[in-house]
Amino acid sequence: MVEKKKRQVAVVGLGPLGRACANALAALATRDDELVLAGMVRRAESLGRPFDVPRDYPVVGHVRDLPAVDVVLLCVPPEDAPGVARELLQGRIPVVECAGLEGGALDQYYADLNDFALAHRAIAIVGAGWDPGLLPMFTRAFRMLIPHGHDTLHRHPGVALHHSAAVAHIDGIEGALTGEYHGPGDAMQRYVYVQIKPGADFDEVRSMIEADPLFAGESTQVFRVENLAEIENEEGHGVVLERLSAESAGIHSSLQLEARYQLAPFAAQVMLDGARRIFLMKPGAHRYTLSG
Domain ranges of the chain: 7-132+265-287, 134-262
- What is the pTM (predicted TM-score) of this model? 0.71
Preceding amide of 132 cis, omega within 30: yes
What percentage of the chain's residues is helix, strand, coil (to nearest 5)? 35, 30, 35
Alpha carbon distances (Å) from 71 to 84, 119, 189, 212, 223: 14, 18, 38, 37, 43
User: Quick one: 7-132+265-287 is in which CATH superfamily?
Assistant: NAD(P)-binding Rossmann-like Domain (3.40.50.720)
Separation CA 98–CA 156 (nearest Å): 19
**AA letter at 163:** H
pLDDT tens for the 292 residues of the chain, in order: 445 688 999 999 998 899 999 999 999 988 888 999 999 999 876 667 777 888 889 999 999 999 989 999 999 988 888 999 999 999 999 999 987 776 777 888 889 999 999 999 999 999 998 888 888 899 999 999 998 888 888 766 554 444 566 676 788 888 777 776 665 566 667 778 888 888 899 999 888 888 887 776 778 888 888 877 655 544 467 788 889 888 665 667 889 888 877 888 999 999 999 999 999 999 999 999 887 5
Alpha carbon distances (Å) from 199 to 124, 205, 222, 229, 230: 48, 12, 18, 21, 21
pLDDT computed for residue 235 by the predictor: 47
Topology given in CATH for the domain delimited by 134-262: Dihydrodipicolinate Reductase; domain 2 (3.30.360)
pLDDT computed for residue 190 by the predictor: 77
Contact between 73 and 12 (Cβ < 8 Å): yes
